[in-house]
Every structure is written in structure tokens, then in C-alpha cells.
Amino acid sequence: MVTKNISLDNEHFNKLKPYIEKHNGNFSSAVREIIDKVEKSFIPENFSFIQDPFLNWLLEEVHGRLIPDNILNTMIDPYLICDMSNLSKHVNKKLADLGWKVHVKIDYNVNKIDNKNNIIVSPSSILIDTTGTSYKMNVVTLMISQFIIQNSPDSSPFLIKSVTHLGSHTQAELSSTANKKEGLKSLHTFFGEMEDTTKAIRDRTSFWNHMINRHSSSNYQMVTVHKNYFEDILAGKTPMGETMIEILAKKPIQDIPLGELLPLIKQVYEVSGVVDKVEIRDSNIILFHNYRNKDATEKIKKSLIMLMETSGHLYDGKTAANMLVIEHRPDVGTKINQIVEHLKNSDNKLDQELATFVTYLKNLNNIHDTPMSITLMGRRIGTSLIQEYEKENNIKEWNLENFQKAFTVIDSKIHKDSEWKTEGNSLLYRIRKCTITMEDNNFDAYVCRASREAFKAALDYAFGNKADLEIKKLKAHGDNYCEVVIKLPNKETN
């Protein structure tokens, strides 16, 4: 111990008095505390104090952004990922040095201990509890979560399970996961929601400035859709809008489960401005809009029904004032999906497939309130039937001759009395008697409609938009028989 004599006048002694009282009159302890404070006041050249109002504003502006790796590494030594017991001590010392008045507590369940060094190297779950002011507290919780997820070994990665804000507390719960990609994904979900947006704006600042100004100046009455959707509109088609949904889901529309598809529809339709609001009630979809043209609302309804049918789900639509109600028919959809799946995967012959078709048609009286579902069912099964015939008979290209043969076989097996007549590039198809549409001498218009839609779907599959179908007579319209004419360009008749 080195003893030194110093002289103090009353002015300096009075400045020391609070520290002397704090240490119960121990003058040496008081001086040592003052020396420690002076040591901490020596600030590095690359460090500067920021007043709280300005700092909070900066932290608010970067909300939703992750911390760059080079910045994170200056705050926390990456080696501390192998020493979880000292991680909170290290962070709290940094926060105290910054004067942030934020405190961190890290709890964990022990999975593996390095007995040699007496440190936790592999916890199974981690709870980060941060207390302090909101913006500082949030960024500190992000900092520790990001540090753990990015630096955890590939053999024992973590993801964020939940983030809870409770007054002056923020808690982040981390748990082990199968791979590191899931952890990084959770980091973006809970803390990095603005990462992609900020990057996109920086990459094309001029574009986004103009886009935002247009939406803002029009009071958000603009519609923003994918170019494929717009192209279908220009071509006079009814667009389904599946492209944007598939991009968001990262898979084909047919592979998106209904529970995942419905929120995507809400997101795409609302954000694009196609409708004002979308509500999902159970499996039903309600669209609110301010369109004045009835044809426009009918096309939106038809477009969404087509989209759902393509994804494997049958819906019907109802129109009300400024509202479209798209109702799910799960009973119908389930039956049809089972039939179609059977048609696609069965090794049986065509007559067994047709038996399934006829069996279903006989049960249509249970769904008379769903004409749109019947239409969609007919189209889907008609396509499946012609595909099955095509594979069975090794047809490489369709023409009027082999199309006639196909339906001659189909009609004979389901007891349809039909006849065909070829006239140049035209084919007349007449059905004089149709057993499946008659029940106790009563004509079933719904079965007839489903059969017609099946025929149209088969024709579309075989010839696309090259075939022109002209309806001459329909029993559903009171005629004694059904008669249609199929016309193709001359080059398609051979």
C-alpha cells in the first residue's frame, strides 16, 4: 500500500462529502470510487454520447431492421456463444457503460455442460427478459436474439418461439430447431419485418417514390396486379390471379392447403386494391367493394370461383350490395376430389371410371342448390375421362374422328343413344335418349347440366380454343333430343 498526503480546501472537501457519507466516512473508499468514475469517463475516439430523445428517435426509425453483423460483433464477442452463463454479464456491463438503463436476464434449460471449463455450451431453451425504456429494450432483445441465432452451432440451432411485450418488460423465448434456416426465418418474422422493404426501396428509390405518391394522391384507389393478370384482362379472359398467390406461397396453386390459401387470398386482394376488404369466416370468403358495374363484380366472383376450383375446392358465389359472398361446399368438393383422384390414379378400365361418374350423377339431387359446383364438377370429370381414354388408346393428337370414337365408346357404356354425322370440317352430335338423365320418367336437369359440362371440358381438352361448339337443341330447353355441331378449321379435320 502506498500512502500519500494530499491537501484539500473546503470547496473540494464539500464535493467529496456525498461519496464519504455513502461509504460511512471511509475517505479512501470514497476516493477510489471517484477514480473509477473518472476512468470510465475516458471515452474512445469512435464513441459518442447521444441524448435520449434523439437516440429514441433513431431507434424508432430502424424498428423492423436487423443489426448488421459487423456492428453486432462490436457489441458482443462471438466467443460468448460458448459461454451462456457470462453472456448476460457481458451485455449488462456494455449497457451500463452506455448509460442506457436497460437490464438483461437470460435464463436457460441446461442441455450440455462443459465440466472442464464449467460453462453452458448447449442449452435446450432460452428466455431473454429485458427491462428498461421501450425502444432501447426492444433493440437489446433483438441484439441478443440475433446474436444467439446467428452464432449458434449448426448442430444445435435456435429459433424465436415468441416475443412478448409487458409494460417495462420484453421477453423473447428461444427454442432449439432442426436447422438454422428456420431460426433466421423466425428472426425476420419477429424483428426484421422491414428488411426486404427497406432493401427494395433503396434499390429502386425513384420507382417507389413515384408509386407511393400515386397511391397517396389517389387516396389508395389504385389497383396493382401482376402483369399476367392484366394480360388476361386485355385478352378478354377472366383472370384467376393465381400467379401472385403462387409467388407468395412458393408452390403451385394446387398444392396450397385451404387453410393456407384463404389468408393469401385476403392479402393479395386487399393489398392489390382489387377489393376494399376481405373477411374469412370459417371456409367462406366475403369481399367488400365499391364497384358500380354489375358485370365487373360478376367477373370478380367468377375469377375467384375459378381460382378455388383450380386449387381443388368448390365454391358458389352470391352477390349483394357492395359485397360478394363466396361460399364453400366442402361436401361436394370432397366427393369430387375423391372421384377425380380415383380417375387419375386408378389402373382400372374406362368403364369402371364411368361407373363412378354415373354413380355420382345419380346423387346430384343432394346438391341442387349448388349449380356452380355442378358445373365445375362436370368440367373436371369430363377432362379426367378424356385423359383416361387418351392414355388407354395411346392418342398422340386429337381430331374429329378419334374424338367421335371416344364418345361413341363412352355413350355406349352409360346407355346413351347417340349418333354422329361428319360434314366437311363439322361434326354433328345428336343424343336421342340419355338414361342417366331420367329417373322414373322424370328428367333431371342437373344431371343433364353436369353431363353437358363434362362434354365441353373434354372438347376443350382435345382441341383447346380451336373448336367451335354450336348448340342446336337441348332437352333441358324442351326439345325432344339434344343436338350440337362441332366445327374445326379445315386443317384439323384429318
CA distances from 137 to 143, 345, 473 (A): 10, 57, 76
Chain centroid to CA 459: how far? Answer: 35
Of 111-115, 373-377, 385-389, where does the model show the most confidence? 385-389
**Euclidean distance between CA atoms 79 and 168, whole angstroms:** 30
- Residues 6+ positions from 168 with CB-CB distance below 8 Å: 131, 132, 133, 137
Amino acid 197: pLDDT: 92
Question: What domains can you pick out in the chain, each with its CATH number?
Answer: 10-40 (no CATH), 52-191 (no CATH), 223-328 (3.40.109), 332-492 (3.30.1380)
Mean pLDDT of 9-27: 84
**Closest to 332 measured CA to CA, from 455, 460, 446, 461:** 446
Residues 6+ apart with CB under 8 A from 103: 92, 95, 130, 131, 132
CB-based contacts of 469, cutoff 8 Å, min separation 6 = 456, 459, 484, 485, 486, 487
**pTM, two decimal places:** 0.56
C-beta of residue 241 within 8 angstroms of C-beta of residue 303: yes
DSSP, collapsed to helix, strand or coil, labels residue 420 as: strand
Question: What average pLDDT does the segment 342-355 reach?
Answer: 58
286 burial class (0-12, 13-18, 19+ CB within 10 angstroms)? middle
Per-residue confidence (pLDDT) for residue 26, from 0 to 100: 87
| The pLDDT of residue 288 | 96
Q: Determine the Cα–Cα distance for residues 410 and 482; give it in Å rounded to an integer.
A: 16
- Say if residues 289 and 323 touch (Cβ distance below 8 Å): yes
Provide mean pLDDT across the span 377-403.
86
d(CA 376, CA 335): 13
> What's the chain's average pLDDT?
83
Name 165's bridge partners: 170
**pLDDT by residue (tens digit) across 176-202?**
888 899 999 999 999 999 999 999 999
Instruction: Report d(CA 254, CA 265) in Å as an integer.
Output: 14
- Label residue 140 by pLDDT band (50, 70, 90): very high
- Judge whether residue 53 has pLDDT over 90: no
The helix (H) or strand (E) run that includes residue 320 is strand 315-320
Question: Which phi and psi (to 5°) does residue 428 adopt?
Answer: -90, 130
d(CA 78, CA 162): 24
Retrieve residue 348's grid coordinates: 382400372
Residue 493, pLDDT above cutoff 50? no
pLDDT in tens, 304-327: 988 887 777 778 888 888 999 998
Q: What is the pLDDT of residues 260-307, one digit of tens each?
A: 999 999 999 999 999 999 999 988 999 999 998 998 999 999 899 888
- Give the H/E segment covering residue 357: helix 350-362
The identity of residue 307, as a single letter, is: L
